[in-house]
Amino acid sequence: MFAYRTHYNSFNSTKEVDFEDEVYSTQDENGNSLCKEIQYWRKHPNLHGWMENLYYEKGGVKDSFNCVTVELTLEDLNCLESDIKSDALPKTTGFFFGGSDNGQRQTDLEFVKKAKEAIFEGDRVFYDSWW
């Protein structure tokens, strides 16, 4: 599970979901990816479940929420922060998922802070996973 930031104009998609082909193919003049990882979670199914709900709320249509992208806006991050603080991430289970615990709370809140900073600096933030 990953979160990335990329320069807002680095890809032309106006979609908030399913833009992985566009965003991962963008490169600078030296051939380097314009996506920069800002967070990695090894196993955090409840956060993944929250992101999956967001994906479908934003119109995602893939059968499996795996290897697909969902943009995180300031509004989304504010909702995520509130849900983290109130322990309202949805209980999520699945094969290979492991378990979420309260030890991830601080890391999650630090991620929200970094993601908001990226947006304030003019970048887009998105979540992607591969399990």
Looking at residue 29, its pLDDT comes to 79
Over residues 4-28, the mean pLDDT reads 73
The pLDDT tens digits of the residues spanning 49-76 come to: 999 999 999 999 999 998 899 999 999 9
Number of domains in the chain: 1
Q: Whole domain around residue 110: which residue ranges?
A: 2-128
pTM of structure: 0.87
Over residues 30-37, the mean pLDDT reads 84
Residue 128 · residue 5 · CB < 8 Å: no
Residue 117 · residue 64 · CB < 8 Å: no
Question: pLDDT band at residue 48, thresholds of 50, 70 and 90?
Answer: very high
Residue 35 · residue 25 · CB < 8 Å: no
Instruction: Compute the mean pLDDT over every residue in the chain, rounded to the nearest whole number.
Output: 87
